[in-house]
Chain A
Amino acid sequence: MMPLLMANLGEEYIIKQINGREKDKTFLATLGFVIDGKISVVNAMSGNLIVNVKDSRVAISKELASKIMV
């Protein structure tokens, strides 16, 4: 398991765990970040990532990306 931050561009991963506050996790879930869901990093910019999750493009901050384990 590793944080999404370290993921390779374009490769598809499975979300194994999401850390953080309950409130934030719930919000992430509604955007499609769920355990066992697929995720891939489309683009990275000084730590902030653009990811592909459930077919939509979502930009997330570095801090958040470090809490998503794949």
Chain B
Amino acid sequence: MAIRIALTGNPNTGKTTLFNALTGSNQTVGNWPGVTVEKKEGKLKGHSDVIITDLPGIYSLSPYTLEEVVARNYILNEKPDAVLNIIDGTNLERNLYLTSQVTELGVPVVIAVNMLDVLEKSGNKLDLDKMSESLGCPVVEISALKGTGIMEAAEKAISLAKSHTLPKERHVFDKNVEVAVKDIIALLPSSVPDLQKRWYGVKLFQRDAKAIEQLNISDDTLNKIEKIITTCEDAMDDEAESIITSERYNYISNVIASFYKVKNKDYVSVSDRIDKIVTNRILGLPIFAAIMFLVYYISITTIGTGMTDWVNDELIANIIQPGIQGFLESVGAAEWLVGLIVNGIVAGVGAVLGFLPQMLTLFFFLAILEGCGYMARIAFVMDRVFRRFGLSGKSFIPILIGTGCGVPGIMASRTIESEHDRRMTVITTTFIPCSAKLPVIALISGALFDNSPWVASSAYFVGIAAIVVSGIMLKKTKMFSGDPSPFVIELPAYHIPTAGSVIRSMAERGTSFVKKAGTVITLATILVWFLSYFGFVNGAFTYLTEEQMDVSLLAHFGNTFAWIFAPLGWGTWKPAVAAITGLMAKENVVGTFGILYHVSNFDKDTGEGIWQLLRADYTPLTAYSYLIFNLLCAPCIAAMSAIRREMSSVKWFWTAVGYQCGFAYIVGMIIYQIGSLIITGKFGIGTIFGFIGIIAIIYGLVRKPYEERHPEQKAGARA
């Protein structure tokens, strides 16, 4: 039987660094069942029979967040053989709060104190032997960063697991509480294992809803327990929940005195000194802007783009595509098969993978910012700005990444704890033009606006405005109603991230990006390719050449639905079809125009060569409405599948995509209809709809937010 060790601790204690150091590359990353909380497991280096599970970073085992529920259910239900509790030596009191709960769960516990060197630098002293004595379980010193002491900590956990040595029970609470907990334990159903009795006793005393639900306690027993709690509450003159919290802290501050000596009270840490500048009232924002500009400039415009261009234009277009084509033709593959592989799969997947160098550079810098602790400060600096339109300070990062590619942008929303804020960020992130939308912008601006620079800048402006407007409107809907959860974020001490952790984080994000390209995008590409290259010629269903594309299934499809876009000024099948192929990858819009206008010789990045033809069919107004619709509507399939995954709900996925398309439609219509009124001065039915659109958005912005009525208010209203 394998020995299972669970790793637990507060966020920012070096838990992940420790996990990586213990398991090396021997890891599997997935999600905990049913939730988007990441689950990591790995085998201990040199011990193939020891499995280490990295539990989410948590502050307590109360059921306040998803992470806490995941962690405590794992320990209670899966019963790991030992728990390795990593704590930050510079922050003992808060970290031991979790420890005091973990030691109640009925599993062997080893405490690993990290960052002791930082603690000692500040002149404070920690006596590990005395600490172990007072807490009732072994304490070891480690440095997750340097990798010292970590194997000893793991060995200790293994030996404890083998001998099944539980933490010595310590009386943590006041006498009144201990009596009440004892009485509750006597009432527990017999199904509760002896070892978990104390834990459930304390939890029921706290009226923990999840615990009551799990134990399936009868109303009768519940009443008895309630009586015990109220008696104790009266005696202590406080609520059960807060009694337990303050009793735990009291207990901790009492025992801590025996092993922790504070020598230097006035010590100002390096971290605090950095924060004085970085989160400064005046300098905070400019410093942040400078750092972001640098990151963005390096990853998107210089190194990233250089490599991305090379991959797209050289590797894929000039080496892989002709290579595969040559090979397939030489073995005599059918024409349609060559088409499917070369023009369908390779072109489609390649278009996405082409962004990989850019993304990896961006991920690299983000890993550094995250690893050193600056990311938490960004959330703090940006929060007041973003709060105004219903997003959180943490929404900034997804949007920033979204300027490169929406897929990792949406994935980055995972760090936002509040569900409302996270969903809102997922819905709005792709409004910002990603790099695949740039060719579309270039096409429109080149064809109809003489390459005027305001087209591109207006695209970003519209993107930002769409995020702000949507944030304000959505926040007022029933879906997002309710008090915003308070903005609280811990600011970890600054430290230099290890090269290993930066590379690992970059690789992890990169891999999930590639995986997405390999699965969903491949399938979607095949579908769109099939629709565009098959159709009826003279009554026979057949494979089409590029010149025959206007009879493809996709063209039929476009013809059927093109009228929908008439109010936006471009209700013909060509732009409609181009918009549909844009769902595969936005830059396809340009390629599709090329095919549909029978131009084979055009610049893929700007569409130069099709410009003349577009000019004949479109006015600047219809073209601009088309551009804005394409920028705001549902993103490409890859990004949509990311939305689906991060929402982990079909309903929310359709809500997001529906909102994006609806919003894009209304904005496109306003641009065309009101624009026509201004240019031609003609007032028609469409103009009325344009105004209705404007009024709808203004109403969405200024209306009173949805408020959930309290039961008393409803009763009052009825009376």
Report A's interface with B, CB cutoff 8 A: 20-32, 34-37, 42-48, 50, 53-64
Contact = CB atoms under 8 A, between A and B. Distances in A.
6 contacts: A29-B60, A29-B245, A54-B93, A57-B490, A61-B383, A61-B487
A43 B276 contact: yes
A32 B93 contact: yes
B48 interface: no
B365 to A, nearest CB: 22
A37 B248 CA distance: 12
A21 B483 contact: yes
Contact of B489 (A23, A35, A58): A58
B64 A27 contact: yes
Given A43-B276, A64-B488, 9 more contacts: A20-B486, A27-B62, A30-B62, A43-B279, A45-B384, A57-B271, A57-B491, A59-B490, A63-B486
Contact of B491 (A21, A35, A47, A50): A50
Given A31-B488, A31-B490, A36-B246, A59 B275 contact: no
Contacts of B380: 45, 48, 50, 59
B280 A59 contact: no
A60 B487 contact: yes
A27 B97 contact: no
Contact of A42 (B60, B272, B383, B492): B272
A36 B242 CA distance: 12
Nearest to A60: B488
Interface of B: 59-60, 62, 64-65, 90-94, 97-98, 241-242, 245-246, 249, 271-272, 275-276, 279-281, 284, 376-377, 379-381, 383-384, 387, 483, 485-493
B279 A50 contact: yes
* In the A-B complex, the 9 residue pairs with the closest CB atoms: A30-B60, A61-B487, A59-B380, A30-B59, A57-B491, A29-B245, A54-B94, A64-B486, A54-B93
A56 B94 contact: yes
B275 A61 contact: no
Nearest to A37: B249
A61 B280 CA distance: 16
B64 A46 contact: no
Nearest to B485: A24
Nearest to B381: A45
Contacts of B90: 55
Contact of A57 (B64, B92, B275, B487): B275
Contacts of B60: 29-30
Contacts of B98: 30
B486 A34 contact: no
Contacts of A59: 376-377, 379-380, 383, 487-491
Contacts of A55: 90-94
Contacts of B379: 59
A62 to B, nearest CB: 8
A43 B242 CA distance: 28
B64 A30 contact: yes
A60 B141 CA distance: 32
B275 A43 contact: yes
Contacts of B384: 45-48, 61-62
A46 B485 CA distance: 19
A57 to B, nearest CB: 4
B94 A42 contact: no
Most chain A CB inside 10 Å of its own CB: which residue of B65, B275, B384, B488: B488
A24 B486 contact: yes
Nearest to B281: A45
A21 B433 CA distance: 39
Given A48-B384, A55-B93, A27 B249 contact: no
A48 B490 CA distance: 13
A42 B384 CA distance: 18
B284 A61 contact: no
Contacts of A23: 64
Contacts of A44: 281
A34 B59 CA distance: 14
A29 B246 CA distance: 8
A59 B486 CA distance: 11
A35 B245 CA distance: 10
A64 B387 CA distance: 13
A39 to B, nearest CB: 13
Nearest to B101: A30
